[in-house]
């Protein structure tokens, strides 16, 4: 498991290409642009929201542990127009900061960022935590291989997360 405490690349030297990619990903998620968001994923993509910072998804339950197929199902359900928990969809804006490159080898980069997310649906809910991304360099640019969401309140009861976190 990635050591999330590691001191890595100083923010100023994180390649702009990586920051631009995850800022774009955040914007697509914020604006519920589901199909465009899905297109960022690699075929072996994993979207993971654990129920604690140090969980093993093979033996412990997560809030979300989607392989690429299930990411597709999640998006198909949102696009059906009958996903009640996102009808109407959340209005969202999220901020990404404190970028760090945790590793860079074999054409894949692990990037970390802190985030805060303001989500409005009936009332405004604040979500916060750390994103860990695994990004792959391909002939067509970057693709998203893994996105891990470490919510600060992941060991507590959380509100519905039917939107893209």
- Contacting residue, 64, 71, 117, 142, with another protein by CB under 8 A: 64
Contacts of 18 (CB under 8 A, 6+ apart): 99, 101, 109, 111, 135, 142
Site string for another protein, 106-125 (x = CB under 8 A): ----------------x---
Identify the CA nearest to 5 among candidates 156, 117, 150, 163: 150
Counting contacts by CB under 8 A, is residue 160 touching another protein? Answer: yes
The 3-state DSSP class for residue 161 equals coil
- Contacting residue, 27, 68, 83, 136, with another protein by CB under 8 A: 83
Least Å from the CB of residue 21 to another protein: 24
Burial of 124 per CB tally in 10 Å (0-12, 13-18, 19+): exposed
Least Å from the CB of residue 154 to another protein: 9
The count of other CB atoms within 10 Å of the CB of residue 56 is 9
Counting contacts by CB under 8 A, is residue 73 touching another protein? Answer: yes
Q: Pick between residue 67 and residue 114 the one whose CB is nearest to another protein.
A: 67
Least Å from the CB of residue 91 to another protein: 16
Q: Report CA torsion sign: 33, 75, 138, 92.
A: positive
Counting contacts by CB under 8 A, is residue 22 touching another protein? Answer: no
Counting contacts by CB under 8 A, is residue 54 touching another protein? Answer: no
Counting contacts by CB under 8 A, is residue 146 touching another protein? Answer: no
Binding site for another protein (CB under 8 A): 49, 51-52, 55, 57-65, 70, 73-74, 76-77, 79-85, 122, 155-162, 165
């Amino acid at each position: 498991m990635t050591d999330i405490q590691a001191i890595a690349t100083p923010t100023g030297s994180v390649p702009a290409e990586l920051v631009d990619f995850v800022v774009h990903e955040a914007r697509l998620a914020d604006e519920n642009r589901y199909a465009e968001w899905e297109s960022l994923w690699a075929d072996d993509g994993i979207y993971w929201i654990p129920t604690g910072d140090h969980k093993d998804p093979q033996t412990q339950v997560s809030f979300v542990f989607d392989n690429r197929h299930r990411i597709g199902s999640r998006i198909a359900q949102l696009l059906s127009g009958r996903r009640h928990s996102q009808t109407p969809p959340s209005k969202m804006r999220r901020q990404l900061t404190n970028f760090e490159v945790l590793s860079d080898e074999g054409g894949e980069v692990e990037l970390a960022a802190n985030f805060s997310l303001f989500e409005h649906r009936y009332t405004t809910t604040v979500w916060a935590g750390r994103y860990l991304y695994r990004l792959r360099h391909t002939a067509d640019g970057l693709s998203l291989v893994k996105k891990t969401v470490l919510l600060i309140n992941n060991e507590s009861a959380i509100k519905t997360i039917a939107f893209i976190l």
